[in-house]
């Protein structure tokens, strides 16, 4: 494998959250251990969400990687679609409020929730 698939939750030009896929080249390292270029990061947070957790619509405060360490996380969008991420999966969230906009819960952001019978454990790494 010489590329890495990056799922991105982003704010589109109409202010709505959407998912897209991006390929990250693995151009560094050795043939036995391919690496991407070094990416910046600015700290991390761990979160434990109990069974039954569900957020309201919100925007990401800043770009961040979200790694699912345990359980299942569903991300819902304004168009009614959603995606589920399970332990070992990840996405990059840059669903931020557009510059100059006032948050409108009928237009902006996404919601998240814990699914299943086990708590949701996540790692957020600021990008």
**Model pLDDT for residues 40-78, shown as the tens digit of each residue:** 999 999 999 999 999 999 999 999 999 999 999 999 999
Side-chain-facing half-sphere of 83: CA atoms under 13 Å: 13
Q: Record the tokens describing residue 77, joined without a space.
A: 């969008």
Q: The tokens of 105 are what? A: 């819960």
Q: Classify residue 1 by burial, with Cβ atoms within 10 Å: 0-12, 13-18, 19+.
A: exposed
- Tell me the CA distances in angstroms from 119 to 39, 41, 43, 52, one per residue in order: 30, 26, 23, 8
Please report the domains of the chain, with CATH numbers, ordered by start residue: 3-24+40-97+108-126 (2.60.120.10)
Average of per-residue pLDDT values in the chain: 96
- Is residue 70 within 8 A of residue 107, CB to CB? The reply is no
pLDDT above 80 (res 117): yes
- Asked if residue 49 lies in contact with residue 106, where contact means CB atoms within 8 angstroms, the answer is no
pTM as predicted: 0.93
């Amino acid at each position: 494998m010489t590329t890495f698939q990056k799922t991105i939750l982003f704010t589109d030009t109409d202010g709505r959250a959407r998912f897209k896929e991006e390929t990250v080249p693995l151009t560094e390292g050795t043939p036995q251990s391919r690496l991407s270029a070094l990416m910046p990061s600015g700290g991390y947070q761990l979160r434990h969400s109990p069974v039954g957790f569900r957020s309201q619509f919100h925007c990401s405060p800043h770009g961040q990687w979200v790694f699912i360490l345990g359980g299942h996380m569903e991300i819902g969008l304004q168009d009614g679609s959603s995606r589920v991420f399970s332990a070992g999966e990840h996405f990059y969230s840059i669903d931020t409020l557009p510059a100059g906009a006032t948050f409108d819960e009928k237009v902006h952001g996404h919601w998240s929730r814990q699914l299943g019978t086990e708590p949701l454990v996540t790692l957020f790494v600021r990008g």
